């Protein structure tokens, strides 16, 4: 083997991924995480939109509650994207990619009434939970504990937030 080709082999080896999760599993998990990222970003934007546009007697409660929720969602997108990178795949990060990957509809064109906003957000948190839950057995089977841990954390938040928002709709 020439000096040149062995140098190239070392360079290739230093960028290859060998973390004990196979190529196909890493691709499947990265795809699921990309969907979770798109869902989370879409729900983040809708929640921030509702923070700006909410009106009515519940204004202050909802304005403040939505701020807490969009801040949490905004902080969540980074670890999801960086887990995709750790698995060796590019993270989606454009409105076009998010629109094609997201299971949630875009925010409505004109602001709904306050309680309709709450209903939209309940449906959104439930949809993100379904996306995370669908990926869990794939990550679990591949022995991808960091992804399973991330999904567990996201499921906890989305199911708890859906419950809190759902409680506002009860008589
Ligand atoms: Fe604000």
Read off φ and ψ for residue 54, nearest 5 degrees.
-65, 145
Residue 147 within any structural domain of the chain: yes
Query: Alpha-carbon distance 1 to 161, whole Å?
Result: 60
pLDDT at residue 3 tops 60: no
pLDDT at residue 5 tops 70: no
Angle at 87 between CA 84 and CA 91, to 5 degrees: 25
Ligand 1 centroid to Cα of residue 111, in Å, is 16
Residue 7 within any structural domain of the chain: no
Question: What percent of the chain has pLDDT above 70?
Answer: 92
Ligand 1 centroid to Cα of residue 52, in Å, is 7
Instruction: Calculate the average pLDDT of the chain.
Output: 94
- Taken as a whole, the chain contains a residue count of 171
Query: Alpha-carbon distance 132 to 74, whole Å?
Result: 17
Residue 8 within any structural domain of the chain: no
Structure tokens at 171: 């008589």
Ligand 1 centroid to Cα of residue 48, in Å, is 8
Query: Residue 29 in contact with residue 91, Cβ under 8 Å?
Result: no
Ligand 1 centroid to Cα of residue 67, in Å, is 7
Ligand 1 centroid to Cα of residue 137, in Å, is 38
Give residue 71's pLDDT: 98
Ligand 1 centroid to Cα of residue 7, in Å, is 54
Closest residue by Cα to residue 30 from 113, 146, 126: 146
Ligand 1 centroid to Cα of residue 155, in Å, is 26
- pLDDT of 61-85, one tens digit each? 999 999 999 999 999 999 999 999 9
- As for how many domains the chain has, the answer is 1
Write the DSSP assignment of 39-100 as a string of letters.
HHHHHHHHHHHHHHH--STTHHHHHHHHHHHHHHHHHHHHHHHHHHHHTT-PPP-SHHHHHH
Residue 12 within any structural domain of the chain: no
Ligand 1 centroid to Cα of residue 51, in Å, is 7
Residue 2 within any structural domain of the chain: no
Mean pLDDT to the nearest integer, 88-109: 97
Ligand 1 centroid to Cα of residue 146, in Å, is 33
Strand, coil or helix: 146: helix
Residue 161 within any structural domain of the chain: yes
pLDDT at residue 10 tops 90: no
Query: What CATH number is attached to the domain comprising 58?
Result: 1.20.1260.10
Residue 14 within any structural domain of the chain: no
Which of the four pLDDT bands, split at 50, 70 and 90, describes residue 6? low
What DSSP element (H or E) covers 170?
A: none
pTM score > 0.85 for this model?
Answer: yes
Residue 58 within any structural domain of the chain: yes
Host domain of residue 134: 20-168
Distance, CA of 13 to chain centre: 31
């Amino acid at each position: 083997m020439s000096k040149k080709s062995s140098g190239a082999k070392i360079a290739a080896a230093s960028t290859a991924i060998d973390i004990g999760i196979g190529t196909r599993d890493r691709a499947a998990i990265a795809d699921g995480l990309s969907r979770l990222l798109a869902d989370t970003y879409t729900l983040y934007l809708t929640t921030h939109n509702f923070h700006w546009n909410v009106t009515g007697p519940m204004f202050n409660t909802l304005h403040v509650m939505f701020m807490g929720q969009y801040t949490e969602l905004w902080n969540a997108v980074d670890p999801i994207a960086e887990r995709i990178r750790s698995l060796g795949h590019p993270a989606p990060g454009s409105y076009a990619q998010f629109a094609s990957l997201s299971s949630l509809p875009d925010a409505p064109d004109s602001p709904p009434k306050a309680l309709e906003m709450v209903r939209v957000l309940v449906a959104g948190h439930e949809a993100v939970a379904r996306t995370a839950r669908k990926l869990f057995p794939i990550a679990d089977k591949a022995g991808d504990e960091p992804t399973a841990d991330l999904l567990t954390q996201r499921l906890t938040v989305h199911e708890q937030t859906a419950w809190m928002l759902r409680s506002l709709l009860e008589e």
